[in-house]
Amino acid sequence: MSTEFEARKEQSDIEQPMFPEEVDQEQKLQQKREMEKGGKSLTANPGDRIDDSKTLEEKAQQVAVDAPDITGDHIVVPTYFIVDEPDGTKKALHHVKDADEISDVIRQARVDENGNRVWW
């Protein structure tokens, strides 16, 4: 396990896969089967699908991308980004559907009232 992963783990009680070795193997196999079965007729990446019946923890584990990029680096993109709400609750934001809200959260997290860059 990388030290970056260990540092992230200490910061949150909900863990999200961010490295290839952290992605659930069953999820990888299921998505591969769906891609092979659907072929070119798929309208969405299987990892991008929204299932409102999933718990916050299940959404945190869902991966949209787990593949090498154009540079050859293997990247992992979570389907949902788990954010802390001002009241202390956590919320799952879908990386496509909720992109505007994710951008708002990032902007809020980047600077404090004095203009200093911080992450909360």
Structural contact between residues 74 and 22, judged by C-beta atoms closer than 8 angstroms: no
Cα distances (angstroms) measured from residue 22 to each of 16, 25, 98, 113, 118: 8, 9, 24, 36, 27
Structural contact between residues 14 and 56, judged by C-beta atoms closer than 8 angstroms: yes
Residue 6 is predicted with a pLDDT of 55
Residue 79 is predicted with a pLDDT of 95
Q: Distance between CA atoms of 29 and 33, rounded to whole angstroms?
A: 6
Residue 12 is predicted with a pLDDT of 59
Residue 11 is predicted with a pLDDT of 54
Hey, what are 20's tokens?
């290839």
Q: What is the pLDDT of residues 57-106, one digit of tens each?
A: 999 999 998 888 899 899 999 999 999 888 989 999 999 999 999 998 88
* Residue type, position 30, single letter: Q
**How many other CB atoms are found less than 10 A from the CB of residue 14?**
13
Q: What is the pLDDT of residues 2-55, one digit of tens each?
A: 555 455 445 557 888 888 888 888 888 888 888 888 877 777 788 898 999 999
Hey, what are 89's tokens?
């609750």
Residue 1 is predicted with a pLDDT of 44
The reported pTM is 0.70
**Average pLDDT of span 109-120:** 72
What is the radius of gyration, based on Cα positions, of the chain?
Answer: 16
